[in-house]
Structure 1
Amino acid sequence: MTGGEISLYGALALGALYGAGFCYRGKGPAGLVVKTGSTALLALWAYLAGGPALLVAALALSSLGDLFLALEGEHWLKPGMAAFFLAHVAYVVLFWELASEERTLPVLAAQVVLVFGGAFFVRWLSPYLGVMRVPVFAYAAVILVMGAAALRLHTAYWLVTLGAVMFIASDAILSLQLFRKPADEPAGIAPSLAVWFLYFGGQALIAWGMLGAAL
């Protein structure tokens, strides 16, 4: 078994473990290691498989974001968002380089729905953001650009496009948990599972689709 295969299987095992036993519970050192390790191993797999540097960078920055968000205290939210912001910038550049030369009407329509739907969602959420208003607006802008870029990828990268959409869906659910749920109300199991598996599954599909199409 190669180092790349070990990294991939390790990432999938840790991702499943975090979803099964940690994502809906309180923060702790064990969950932090499992969560951060799952995406770090995806980055290692992409590197060992000879994936694009921007893919490796995006996954590594996402792992850093996972680390910050797994730490106790609300003051880690902004560093976590900053790490994911940079990860999305890397994805935008990568997807832009691989964009299909032809922009069809269905693709354009999907981009319009995504961007305007996302903008409406953030506008609806804005009264609940408080001091996080500007960071959330900036983050929403970059992730919507990332999604629009993914929608324009060649059909050979359809797994990447699906993964990007799953990533956006995960963040939408997470934003409701962070800003609309009462602070004294525990996170529900179903939303927590949805956030994690959409996020981790999306990242895994982006990596898998990018590496598979590049072979």
Structure 2
Amino acid sequence: MTMLPIYLGLAIALAYLPFTNTPASWRRSIHKTLPLLLFALAGFLTGSPVFLVAGLFLSALGDFGLSRDGESAFLYGLSAFALAHVLYIIHFLALAQMPLWDVFSIAPIPAIALLALLVSTEIWLAPHTGPLGWPVRIYVLVIGAMGLSALLLPFGISTMGAALFILSDLILAIELFRMREDHPSKLLAGYLIWGFYIAGQAMILMGGITI
């Protein structure tokens, strides 16, 4: 019974897929917010770590913000996700029982590759973000730190979940700041962003439940 919210959240997320590229509406916002609210409920009911549950809840708030139009709503969503990543960092560090910088001795190749990706955003992303430049830069640093903290764990579902979350945000950054509105890959990008995001969050949740 405690796992029912996960299955329901996944079903709602799957049903939302055709709406990923539709105009903002209250129906779309509610539909987009529900899966992570249900994931947070599942985490609570299964006694998952409090930082994980809170991170899932903040992600739901982030989903709501990004489902609305306007720069203010975008900044609200971005801030909620940044805080969610901070909580995921605390969650992963608590599981790993070691400081973040140890990742460069435990998993040096993926850690350096991730660091290189973060640095590269100054070339292909930052110049195209306009007045959102610094908020985006801060978010990139926070999600990068989340990825590094996940690499401290033995390779498994939590690590894969964090990787899919980062991949989703990477595609989102390209879609928002580098694609024209009439780009032929816009529709596919929306599907990939949502699919990788939901899969990543579900894996992060399941990793917290099974550990």
Distance in 1 (alpha carbons) for counterparts of 2:180 and 2:51: 37
2:17 matched to 1:23? no
Partner of 1:8: 6
Change (3 A) 1:183 1:74: farther
2:66 aligned to 43, 59, 69, which one?
69
The residue type paired with residue 134 of structure 2 is: V
What percent identity do the matched residue pairs reach? 35
Give unpaired runs (5+ residues) of structure 1: none
Shift of 1:96: 1.1
Distance in 2 (alpha carbons) for counterparts of 1:186 and 1:136: 25
Across the aligned residues of Structure 1 and Structure 2, the Cα RMSD in angstroms comes to 1.9
Aligned to 1:98, what secondary structure does the other structure show? helix
Distance in 1 (alpha carbons) for counterparts of 2:97 and 2:111: 14
- Would you say the 8 A contact 1:24–1:192 is kept in 2? yes
Shift of 1:9: 1.5
Partner of 1:141: 141
Partner of 1:127: 127
- Would you say the 8 A contact 1:98–1:154 is kept in 2? no
* Misfit runs of 4+, over 6 Å: none
Shift of 1:121: 2.7
Question: Structure 2 length normalisation: TM-score?
Answer: 0.92
Aligned to 1:162, what secondary structure does the other structure show? helix
Shift of 1:182: 2.6
Aligned to 1:163, what secondary structure does the other structure show? helix
Q: Could you report, residue by residue, the CA deviation over 1:38-63 in whole angstroms, capped at 9, with x for unpaired residues?
A: 11100000000100000000000000
- Would you say the 8 A contact 1:100–1:154 is kept in 2? no
The residue type paired with residue 153 of structure 2 is: L
Give unpaired runs (5+ residues) of structure 2: none
Distance in 1 (alpha carbons) for counterparts of 2:3 and 2:181: 41
> How do 1:110-125 residues align onto structure 2 when only pairs under 5 Å count?
110-125=110-125
The residue type paired with residue 165 of structure 1 is: A
Change (3 A) 1:103 1:181: closer
2:87 aligned to 61, 79, 90, which one?
90
Shift of 1:104: 7.9
Distance in 2 (alpha carbons) for counterparts of 1:186 and 1:44: 37
Q: Could you report, residue by residue, the CA deviation over 1:112-162 in whole angstroms, capped at 9, with x for unpaired residues?
A: 11111222134321111111110011000010000011011134xx10000
